[in-house]
Chains A and B, each alone.
Chain A
Amino acid sequence: MRILLIEDDREAARYVAKGLGESGFVIDHAEDGPQGLMMATSEPYDVLVVDRMLPGVDGLSVIEALRKNGTDTPILILSAMGSVEDRVHGLRAGGDDYLVKPFAFSELLARIEALTRRARTDGVQETSLRVADLEMNLLSRAVHRGGQPVDLKPREFRILEFLMRHAGQVVTRTMLLESVWDYHFDPQTNVVDVHISRLRQKVDVGFGRPLLHTVRGAGYRLAENETP
């Protein structure tokens, strides 16, 4: 997996590159907009991580130029500007995800993994999802584990769907809040944890091997094995 990081802050770039490198990614680093634009158009990358504030050409312009150019590589925007309006601007310019600085590295990693997965499954219209013996029918909205029906509330269904679409990957609380509830802020109470434990009650309890794992300090992972 190759990632291009376009970031002018060297300290931040070092932090991101080191972490991603340790997680098995190959990182290229561009220090400004024009250089990033050139590298992104001349080399194949799996994900682009673009800082919004760049000297020369700003991040959003780089993204717009790439999209006009026909580049459809998934793009994650990093920005210190975190209001909903800023986020909307970023996504409208052609970004696929938006992460506000400062962020936890686990959050960045989870989002990059989600983006690589999205690239692979894009365009495929799925009618059912499957993780080990857990099945979800997206049309009838029925869920079965080991052949037995699992009765879920609508919101639980959406949480499970999101987890199954990102099976094997870490899903953070923030990602769940954003995609399931459209909340772009963290409530103080650990509301997500409680929802997950409810879901776990229904999906895992009584079925021998658990599928819904908690990843300490990061989030959750739905997978057959506890460690990838």
Chain B
Amino acid sequence: MRRRSLIFRYTLLHGTLFVLVLSGALAFLYSSTLSAHETEMDEQIEHEAEDLHERLTEVHSVTEMAAIVSRTTTERPGRTTVYMLATKTRQYVAGNLRQWPAGIEQRGDLLEFPLEGKATEEARARGRTYRLPTGEQLLVARNLTERVRFRELIREAFAGALLLTVLLGVTGAYLLSRRVSHHLDEINQNSEAILQGNLDLRMPETGRGDEFDELSHNLNRMLDRIGTLMSAMREVTDDIAHDMRSPISRLRSRIELALLGKSDPDAYRAALEGTIEDADAILAMFNSLLTIAHAESGEPRKSFEPVDLRDLVANAVEIYEPAAEDAGLSIVLEESAPVRLSGNPSLLGQAITNLLDNAMKYVPAGGSIRCRVVVGDDRARIIIADDGPGVPDAFFDKAFDRFSRLEASRTSPGSGLGLSLVRAIAHLHEGEVVLSSGDPGLIVTLDLPVHREA
């Protein structure tokens, strides 16, 4: 599993870097603390030695000197300072060191030597020697045990801190990577299950609002959207298959009836002509579906041109006027303002004629159809109002679905695609088409934005 190794490698790399940096910092701290401690101790010894040396130079007899050294030694019991006053030939006179040490060597500003001949650092001392004006020799030094103890203490503290950090880091990294892996695993498993066909499955959402929650939420929204589109698509194909069946079966039965009847050329001719009409109706439905798809694709936007809406409506009203009159209807273009917008004149014209076709179909004789173009607020509205029976409010939204037709109009000609096409054309022009009740009658508003440059 590549992903696991990625998280592991990432955590390991980070952990190693962290430990290295921390070790470096601790080492620096360690060495600077120690050297500060040593410098301070050296200064103390020097101070103490100088002090004693000065006092000894002020007296002149060896007895007095021995007394001072003995007093100093006893004044500070338990301290790790060693004193020795010796003769010219380094024979013991006073102090807590009996034997003049061998192997004195210079280390830094001070001298260092082993105590009691032992070689360990703990048994070493650091200090000064003086030759007094009277010829006696003085040794003042400090046992290094304290320094070694201090060093060990610091070493232990730093090692403990480092260990604790590494432990915490490793545990944290392990928990983090386990959590990340856990979330990713869930998402991967669910994706796999969705791929396997469990399309209703969604990613787990904890509601904690963290990144994984957000990822799950977005993935779920995406899946929902795809689901909606898919079911819409399935609905359209179902509708097409379903609604194309009836005109095709009508065509089929017409042919069948002609073949069942007597073999009369005139009857055959009539049947064939009827068949052509049926086929034309089917082709018209397909054309409408293609035009809807074309408009929905947004493709016609590339060839938008300036269009005067009032001219389009006037043209449509003019072409429908005689037909309306024959049907006993009045169709009028009420006072309208000219308005230019960028659009596809052919499709807009088709939208308007579709609306007029609808009105002609539903308004009974004696009724009227009133058209108007209203401009305002960077929008142009084509309003077509009739005083027919109208449409139930509940149907306002459904009316735009493909093949949706009022129950009452099932028997009259028409594909149920007219309003779908009008809506597709409205959307193509970034507009909307709205049905509302005219009380009585129906008001259809084609609401289109007017862009300034148009």
Q: A residues within 8 Å of B by Cβ?
A: 82-85, 88, 102, 104, 155, 181-191, 194-195, 197-198, 217
* A189 touching B302, Cβ below 8 Å: no
> Which of B51-59, B73-81, B316-324, B383-391 faces chain A?
B316-324
Contacts of B326 in A (CB 8 A): 194
- Does A84 contact B344, Cβ atoms closer than 8 Å? yes
Q: Is the CB of A198 within 8 A of B322?
A: yes
Separation of A154 and B254 alpha carbons in the complex (Å): 43
Judging by beta carbons under 8 Å apart, are A189 and B320 in contact? yes
Q: Is the CB of A217 within 8 A of B322?
A: no
Interface centre among A102, A183, A187, A198 (most CB of B within 10 A): A187
Interfacial chain A residues near B346, Cβ < 8 Å: 84, 183-185
Q: Shortest Cβ distance from A80 into chain B, in angstroms? A: 10
B229 at the A/B interface (Cβ < 8 Å)? no
How many chain B residues sit at the interface, stated as a range, is: 35 or more
Dominant SS at the B interface?
helix
**Which residues of B from 303 to 329 have beta carbons under 8 Å from A?**
303, 315, 318-320, 322-323, 326
**Chain B residue at minimal CB-CB distance from A80:** B290
Is the pair B322, A102 in contact by a Cβ cutoff of 8 Å? no
B277-312 CB contacts (< 8 Å) to partner A:
280, 283-284, 287, 290-291, 294, 299-300, 302-303
The reply to whether B284 and A85 contact each other, CB–CB distance below 8 Å, is: no
Do most interface residues of chain A lie in helix, strand or loop, or is the interface mixed? loop
Known A88-B303, A181-B315, A188-B357; judge A83-B294 contact (CB<8 A). yes
Inter-subunit contact B413/A194 (CB<8 Å): no
A189 — which chain B residues lie within 8 A by C-beta?
320, 323, 356-357, 360
Please encode chain B, from 114 to 154, with 1 for each CB lying within 8 Å of some chain A CB and 0 for all others: 00000000000000000000000000000000000000000
List the A side residues contacting B320 at CB < 8 Å: 187, 189, 191
A83 and B418 CA atoms in complex are apart in Å by 17
A188 in complex: contacting residue of B322, B347, B349, B414, CB < 8 Å: B414
A contact residues around B302 at 8 Å (CB): 85
19 contacts between A and B (CB under 8 A): A82-B290, A83-B294, A84-B300, A84-B344, A84-B346, A85-B300, A181-B315, A183-B349, A184-B346, A185-B346, A185-B349, A187-B320, A189-B323, A189-B360, A191-B322, A194-B322, A194-B326, A195-B322, A198-B322
| Contact residues in A for B185 (Cβ distance below 8 Å) | none
The answer to whether A190 touches B323, judged by C-beta atoms less than 8 angstroms apart, is yes
Chain B residues with CB under 8 Å of A194's CB are 322-323, 326
Which of B290, B291, B294, B323 is most buried by chain A, counting CB atoms within 10 A of its CB? B323
Docked Cα-Cα span, A187 to B276, in Å, equals: 18
Q: Which chain B positions have C-beta within 8 A of A184?
A: 346
Q: Which residues of B contact A183 (CB under 8 A)?
A: 319, 346, 349-350, 353
A85 to B280 CA separation, bound complex (whole angstroms): 23
Assess whether A104 is in contact with B322, with CB atoms less than 8 Å apart: no
Q: Measured between C-beta atoms, what is the minimum distance from B205 to chain A in Å?
A: 45
Bound form: Cα–Cα A102–B276 in Å: 12
Chain A residue nearest to B284 in the complex (CB) = A186
B273 at the interface (CB under 8 A from A): yes
Q: Smallest Cβ distance from A106 to chain B, in angstroms?
A: 10
Contacts of A102 on B, CB cut-off 8 Å? Answer: 283
Asked if B273 and A217 make an inter-chain contact with CB atoms under 8 angstroms apart, the answer reads yes
Contacts of A195 in B (CB 8 A): 319, 322
Contacts of A182 in B (CB 8 A): 315, 345
Would A104 and B318 count as touching, CB distance under 8 A?
no
Query: B322–A187 contact, CB under 8 A?
Result: no
**Which residues of A have CB within 8 Å of B276?**
104, 217
Q: Determine the distance from Cα of A217 to Cα of B275 in the docked complex, in whole angstroms.
A: 12
Q: Do B303 and A155 touch (CB < 8 A)?
A: no
> Which residues of the other chain, B, contact A185 by a CB distance below 8 angstroms?
287, 291, 346, 349-350, 353
